[in-house]
């Protein structure tokens, strides 16, 4: 079974509703794995549910100016060619990886630690090898759906195993239709109600 919810339905930036639901399920004896993304101290973090580890995903601080630039970039992105975007992305990632002295994933003004993303992907793949009752995947966004990065290709493998476990996915509302098409789950994708 695959169910989706928005970040707002999951409790916003701190994912309080999702976290409370996960704890309730664990107390009921459910085996749970997956990742929950949350914000604290102006940065994005990932909680690995099987170990309860919290890892800092976002390596850089984002100011209001960067957020405004990101909004402006989104307006113009539709007119850019893919080859220019790929060349820009490749050089930006290489420069940023050198600046942070580690592999990174750049999404707009955000710089994510690729090692943390790799740890999150391992958590998802482990849940396939050793099935759990509930797999939580927070969040699938443009990085996964449009670029095939972030939690990919692990998440696609999880979707293929949806008949073996209950998968709860946080997806941005503007990507729901595209999400269903990309992952071939439009027909059996349900809405998640954390009050249940």
CA distance 174 to 142: 10
Query: What are the pLDDT digits (tens) for 121-138?
Result: 999 999 999 989 999 999
Give the predicted TM-score (pTM) of the model: 0.83
Residue 195 structure tokens: 């009050």
pLDDT at 65: 75
CB contact set of 120 (below 8 Å; sequence gap of 6+): 35, 46, 48, 151, 154
CB contact set of 66 (below 8 Å; sequence gap of 6+): 109
- Angle in degrees, CA 79, 60, 111, rounded to 5: 45
Residues 1 and 190 sit within 8 Å (Cβ to Cβ) = yes
Residues 35 and 124 sit within 8 Å (Cβ to Cβ) = yes
Question: Counting Cβ atoms within 10 Å, is residue 86 exposed (0-12), middle (13-18) or buried (19+)?
Answer: exposed
pLDDT at 91: 46
CA distance 123 to 133: 14
The residue that leads in pLDDT, 81 or 52, is 52
Q: Does 43 have pLDDT greater than 80?
A: yes
Residues 113 and 57 sit within 8 Å (Cβ to Cβ) = yes
Residues β-bridged to residue 191: 4
């Amino acid at each position: 079974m695959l169910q989706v919810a928005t970040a707002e339905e999951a409790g916003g930036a701190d994912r309080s509703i999702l976290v409370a639901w996960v704890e309730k399920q664990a107390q009921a004896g459910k085996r749970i794995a997956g990742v929950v993304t949350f914000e604290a101290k102006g940065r994005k973090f990932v909680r690995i549910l099987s170990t309860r580890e919290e890892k800092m995903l976002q390596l850089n601080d984002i100011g209001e100016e960067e957020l405004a630039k990101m909004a402006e970039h989104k307006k113009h992105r539709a007119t850019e060619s893919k080859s220019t975007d790929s060349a820009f992305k490749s050089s930006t990632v290489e420069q940023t990886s050198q600046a942070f002295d580690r592999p990174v994933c750049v999404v707009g003004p955000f710089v994510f630690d690729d090692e943390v993303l790799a740890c999150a992907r391992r958590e998802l793949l482990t849940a396939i090898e050793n099935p759990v009752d509930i797999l939580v995947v927070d969040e699938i966004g443009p990085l996964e759906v449009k670029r095939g990065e972030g939690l990919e290709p692990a998440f696609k493998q999880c979707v293929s195993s949806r008949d073996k476990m209950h998968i709860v996915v946080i997806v941005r509302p503007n990507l729901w239709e595209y999400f269903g098409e990309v992952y071939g789950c439009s027909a059996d994708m349900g809405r998640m109600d954390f009050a249940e």
